[in-house]
Every structure is written in C-alpha cells, then in structure tokens.
Structure 1
C-alpha cells in the first residue's frame, strides 16, 4: 500500500520538474519613466468662485482636459474623464441633459445674470496625467548603465548593461541629486479678464499632489518586498499658481531653489555651500534624503565653511531631495493653494 501511494506522488513530481522554465526579458526603465526609472503623475483639485455681472447669461467653455463640477441646485452639472488603457485617449462622461453643459459643440456651464457660482476643476488619478521628468545625465556620452534584466520563473538570472566604448572616460562622474523637473506656472486668476469683462474670478482654493513612482524592478511587481535599485534625485513642486499663496507642504520641502543651487555647488565641492536649513528630521521611510555631514556609516565629516550670501532667483520654488531604495519605491508631495485678492 505504501508503494501505491508513492507512485502517483512520484509522477506529479517528475511532471513538475519537466516543465520548461518561464523566461522573460524585462527592459528598464519602461514606458512613461525617465532613464533612471522615475515617473511623476499630477493630481489637481481647485474650487473656483465666479460671478457674472452681466444682465444676461454667459456660457463658460471648459478645456475637456479638466473634469469639472458645478456646485448648485442638484450638483448634476459635471463632466468626468478617464484614460482608456488600450487607446490611451481620455473618455468623457457628460450628464444626460446636454443643454446644461454644451453650446456650439463645446462643453462647459452657464453662469446666470448676477449669479455667483462655485466650480471645481480637477485632474484626477483616472487621467494618468504624466509629468515630464528630465533624464539623469553624466559626463559619458549615451546612457552607460543597466538597461534590462532577464528572469526565469521569477528569479533574476542576468541582464544587460549598456556600454559607452570610450577609452578616454573610465569614470563618468559622481552622482549628485539632479533636479528632474521645473514647475509649470499657471496664471489662473488672469484667464477671465482677458476673455470677458463681465465674468470675473473672485477666488480659488485647492490642493495639488505629485506622485513619484519607481519603475518596478521585477516584471509586474512594484512591492517593497523586493530589493530596489537605489535612486538619488531632486524634484520641485509641479505647479505654481501665479500670485496665489501656497502652503501646507507635505512632507516639508528640503530647501528653496536658490538654496538648492548653492547646496549643489557645495555638495560637488565646487564652491563652499551657504546654510540651507535642509537637515530637517524625517521619518526613516519617508524617502527624503537627510542632508547632514554624517555618512551612512563611518565617521562624521567636518563641516564645510559657510558663505555669507545666497544668490536669489526670480522664481524661488520649493525643492525636495529624494532617495528611493529598499522599502521606498514611491514618494508623494502635497500642498494647498489659495487666491482671493481680486480687485477688479
């Protein structure tokens, strides 16, 4: 009886061992990522208050790139969009009563005589609006680095490293946190005066989010259970609303752009850095790089002498210095904006 039970088990084991290995090649960094495997997505939600000073109704045309929601009556005037994963196009959903939100084959909403109305403009996660992030650059011509990995049954078996055949460049550089983006300046409060003298923007307020994601280092798996290729870079706030107040940054930014430029010179040993105030304590898993004079291991390095002044720039936006690695494969920046100074 013992041999009768063993025989089926033996057959199943042999069948399993005879299955061909599942091999796959996984190119890096992948679609929508820059050349070090970072992707940025923007999420925006801004509530705008408008008033129509005319004795007749006005139809405000909305760029279909934005979702919108009109807050009045039954709150049934809205347009929602989402990106079709197959075609890549944005699919829109409008209310059944098109007379409220279309005119001349354009989408939007009516503002009635002397009416004050609040309208939400949104770019949601369903839009998958990808921010343009710059590629990492060093002194070697071309991208000298890991470009693909090979897997068999989920186990890393090899890969490919792109080589720059240049005998004169044995070293391509020393990594420093290069800035991957610059903010887009949106003049939200200047849109209406240039289009119509009766419809005026009284105020707006909202939230902005930028979600950074590290490319999955194994096929279809971006969990932090697997060891990540470490990344070191800097990013700025994605959008600046002109003349608006920005506040409530989460997490706290590392420094302003003027401080960043000065910090980079000091970090690279090209010029003594000015104080940046950037060594703000952070959670261990926050993804923010701790800008201190202590190495990951070993002795504390001597402080570099300070220079008394920092060069000022016309647009001194916020900068985050980010480290992604084991346990950290995403990073989110969130802040609020507010403007209510219309004097027209």
Structure 2
C-alpha cells in the first residue's frame, strides 16, 4: 500500500509542476534539492493506423527519426516546437506510424518539494525550536531551553528515502497497440547548501522498479543497513534500533561494483536485472556529506529496462 501511495504522489507531483520554479524550498538546515530526469523510451505501434500521442507539455521531448521533431522549454511559459505536425486538436505530441519502432527522449528539471519527496528536516533532540538565520547571523531560541550548557553530538541524519517508481506504468499509453519495448535514462540529483557548513546523509532519490541501475557516481559510502546497524551506533556510541525487514523471495540486497547496482543472491552471484517491484526493498546506497556554504553535492546514475516475454 505504501509503495502505491509513493508512486501516486510522485506521478501527481511530476504532472502538476512546471520544469522551472522561482525558488526551491529549503529544509531546516538550508539544503536545497534539485532533480533532473532524462528518459529514452522505445515505443512500437503494433496496429494498422497512425497514432498521435499527446505529451505532457511539462516535459521536453525529442523523437529520433529523420528530421528534427522536438519540444523545448526556453522559459517557464515559452515553448519551442520544431514542426506544426506536433500539434493535433491543440494538444502537443508526436505521430507514431503503423509497425514503427520509435525512440523518444523525455527530460524534465524538477525542483523537488521537500514534503512530497521526503527530504527531511534535521532531527534535533536537544532544542527543536532553536534556529539560526544565517543571512543576519541571528539566533532564535525559546526563553528556557531546560538543559545544561552541553547538549548532543550533531550527526549525519538521513534526509531522504528513495521513491519507488514503476516507470512502465508511469509512461504507459492508454492504447493496447502502443507497446513500450524498452526505456533507459539518467537521474541527476543535486543538493546545494544555502547556509553555513552542514553535515547529512543522503540516499538515491528515485528507484525505477524492475530496472537495472548502474554507473552510480560518486561511489556510495555504505548501504542503508550498514548506516543503521553499524555506522550510527559506532558514531554515536549508542544503540540504534535496527530496521525490521520482511525478507521474501522477491526482496533483494544490493551489491556495489564500480558501474552496477545489482541484486545479490544467496550464492553472492550478481544478477543483472536488479530491482524488483516488491515493496520490501532492503538496501540502497547512502552517502555521508559535509558541505560548506553555497557548495553542492551531485549524485548521478543510469537505469535501463527492456521488455521480456
């Protein structure tokens, strides 16, 4: 149920937001997220009629066929179209002809909403109402903190959790004769620090289910189970409650190589088709990050999926 809610939330977010907003929101330690998603989708028209597929104009798109066909956002309210035949019934899109195999590239720049995609605030057990306004160097705090002069150790709090996305459903055309043969793409996730020096842990923002994920840069520092079960207890010298996992045959563990995030079987053999649709995803990459003022941290990775009978 939770996976369905997350997928619905993400789809609603992608459909309702424009590519560029004036200002992305910050969390309580002044971190500003930005997500860029590029997808190449191969479509097959198995029918006998040419079909015009309307496209969400939030996305830039380009068809890979003879002659340039594209939609490009120059600004938030100005769209450039390459040809007049990309409009039908005042809808923007493209034609796919009988028995044609067509590759289409979609891209979108998404200023991530901190609530929608769960980039969390830093959890402070000492004085949660204490804030610093960095631009004025002003400190705001309640009249009585109720504690001594020393408080707690600041630690790299995990500020996000991956969103599972079933891209085959996400990009599905409501026509049984239009078949998605394959898709591939790249995710670029940037976190910029708009305040003083900050420390945090961050995970992959999106995981396309049933797709292979590879070429992850930079190399992850650890996985989630290591972060919860080893890193935090060692860092804080305290017992952190271990996450509970319901392991099933569909559940997977991730094993890292230089270029591939893949599943790991009980024999420790790499399996190329990595992530399953089961919602009990056990492990995913984690990075520990320290950022100075106005500096950024970038995570990039690729994904691919192909139809199999």
TM-score strictly above 0.5: yes
- Contact 2:72-2:81 within 8 A present in 1 as well: no
State how far apart, in whole Å, the 1-side matches of 2:302 and 2:30 are. 28
- Contact 1:201-1:342 within 8 A present in 2 as well: no
Are 1:58 and 2:43 counterparts? no
Partner SS for 2:122: coil
> Could you tell me the TM-score, scaled by structure 2's length?
0.71
Partner of residue 214, structure 2: 247
State how far apart, in whole Å, the 2-side matches of 1:324 and 1:192 are. 36
Query: Compared with structure 1, are the counterparts of its residues 193 and 47 closer, same or farther at alpha carbon in structure 2 (3 Å cutoff)?
Result: closer
Are 1:314 and 2:281 counterparts? yes
- Contact 2:71-2:82 within 8 A present in 1 as well: no
Are 1:236 and 2:215 counterparts? no
Are 1:49 and 2:49 counterparts? no
- Contact 2:216-2:301 within 8 A present in 1 as well: yes
1:204 is displaced (CA, Å) by: 1.3
Spell out, residue by residue over 1:172-214, the C-alpha distance to the aligned partner (whole angstroms, 9 max, x if none).
5321111111222221123466722111111111211111111
Query: Compared with structure 1, are the counterparts of its residues 31 and 329 closer, same or farther at alpha carbon in structure 2 (3 Å cutoff)?
Result: same
Partner of residue 71, structure 2: 79
Query: Compared with structure 1, are the counterparts of its residues 139 and 340 closer, same or farther at alpha carbon in structure 2 (3 Å cutoff)?
Result: same
Partner SS for 2:300: strand
Partner of residue 340, structure 1: 306
Query: Compared with structure 1, are the counterparts of its residues 194 and 95 closer, same or farther at alpha carbon in structure 2 (3 Å cutoff)?
Result: closer
Query: Compared with structure 1, are the counterparts of its residues 31 and 340 closer, same or farther at alpha carbon in structure 2 (3 Å cutoff)?
Result: closer
- Contact 1:142-1:164 within 8 A present in 2 as well: no
State how far apart, in whole Å, the 1-side matches of 2:123 and 2:25 are. 18
State how far apart, in whole Å, the 2-side matches of 1:31 and 1:197 are. 38
Q: CA RMSD in A?
A: 2.7
Greater Cα radius of gyration, structure 1 or 2: 1
Partner of residue 200, structure 1: 179
- Contact 1:180-1:234 within 8 A present in 2 as well: yes
1:45 is displaced (CA, Å) by: 1.5
Partner of residue 177, structure 1: 156
Query: Compared with structure 1, are the counterparts of its residues 325 and 97 closer, same or farther at alpha carbon in structure 2 (3 Å cutoff)?
Result: closer
Partner SS for 1:261: helix
- Unaligned ranges ≥5, structure 2: 1-22, 243-278
Partner of residue 232, structure 2: 264
State how far apart, in whole Å, the 1-side matches of 2:176 and 2:214 are. 31
- Contact 1:79-1:92 within 8 A present in 2 as well: no
Query: Compared with structure 1, are the counterparts of its residues 336 and 167 closer, same or farther at alpha carbon in structure 2 (3 Å cutoff)?
Result: closer
Q: Pick from 129, 136, 143: which aligns with 2:111?
A: 129
State how far apart, in whole Å, the 2-side matches of 1:186 and 1:200 are. 19
State how far apart, in whole Å, the 1-side matches of 2:208 and 2:172 are. 16
> Could you tell me the TM-score, scaled by structure 1's length?
0.64
Query: Compared with structure 1, are the counterparts of its residues 245 and 60 closer, same or farther at alpha carbon in structure 2 (3 Å cutoff)?
Result: same
